[in-house]
Amino acid sequence: MRVVFVHGACVRDGAWWWHRTAALLAERGVASVAAALPSCGEAGVPAGTDGPGLAEDAAALRGLLQATDEPAVVVAHSYGGIVAAQAAAGVAAVAHLVLVSSYLPEVGQGLQDFGGPEPAPFLDADPAGGTFGVRPDQLVPVFLQDCDEPVRAAAPQRLARQSLRVTGQAVTAAAWHDVPSTYLVCARDLGTPAARQRRFAERAGEVVELDAGHHPFLSRPDAVRDLVLSR
């Protein structure tokens, strides 16, 4: 088994976001890889009005999933669940989907279908430039409040402006219909409150709750490792 991680919106350097959980998996002999999302500027093309979007993100992830026939568990965080829904469809090697504070979109749905009635106060959108991002002063109190100081210090430099167009793009496939899925509800998440996560999780085959914030793979990596290994 191998694990393929998919990070969420408005960040870069996926390997760093998952490094604590990846290290614990490696101790158990499980290899992992983190997808790079072009819409976050990770493919050398700047995000923006004409920058990469959901289709490019899904293609990048699909390439990783099809690189080998070894069975894979896809662990997708937040926006990463939108990407995984499209990219993992029809890939025989995908054995399980783990959605962390994330989404299971139907065909025709996208990120915009899971947001609240008002723009999130922790986001900053630039319609003219075609990008959006997390407000730097909101990163720690909203998303990393249960993480230790090393994480809080290193995370801000890994924020990224992302192509705004991904918020309005819909998936053309929904892998969770055919692939077993587990939803991890993060009970202390201040970005996506637990009550909303539980509604999103109703489509998953199994639901697990953890007393953690938005990034449990950094604050509770042992628990995330154990969940992945049990799939």
- Cβ distance 186 to 224 under 8 Å? no
- Annotated domain spans of the chain: 2-229
Look-up of token digits 């099809």: 66
Which tokens go with 180? 């077993």
Helices (H), 6-135: 14-17, 19-27, 54-65, 80-87
The confidence score (pLDDT) of residue 91 equals 98
The beta strands (E) that lie in 49-144 are given as: 72-77, 94-100, 123-126, 131-134
Tens of pLDDT, residues 170-202: 999 999 999 999 999 999 999 999 999 999 999
Tens of pLDDT, residues 67-87: 999 999 999 999 999 999 999
Q: What is the overall mean pLDDT for the chain? A: 97
SS3 of residue 134 by DSSP: strand
48: left (phi over 0), alpha (psi -120 to 50) or beta: left
Cα–Cα dist 158/152, whole Å: 11
The confidence score (pLDDT) of residue 83 equals 98
The confidence score (pLDDT) of residue 118 equals 76
The confidence score (pLDDT) of residue 116 equals 76
Write out residues in the chain with pLDDT < 70, as ranges. Answer: none
CATH class of residue range 2-229:
alpha beta
pTM beyond 0.85: the answer is yes
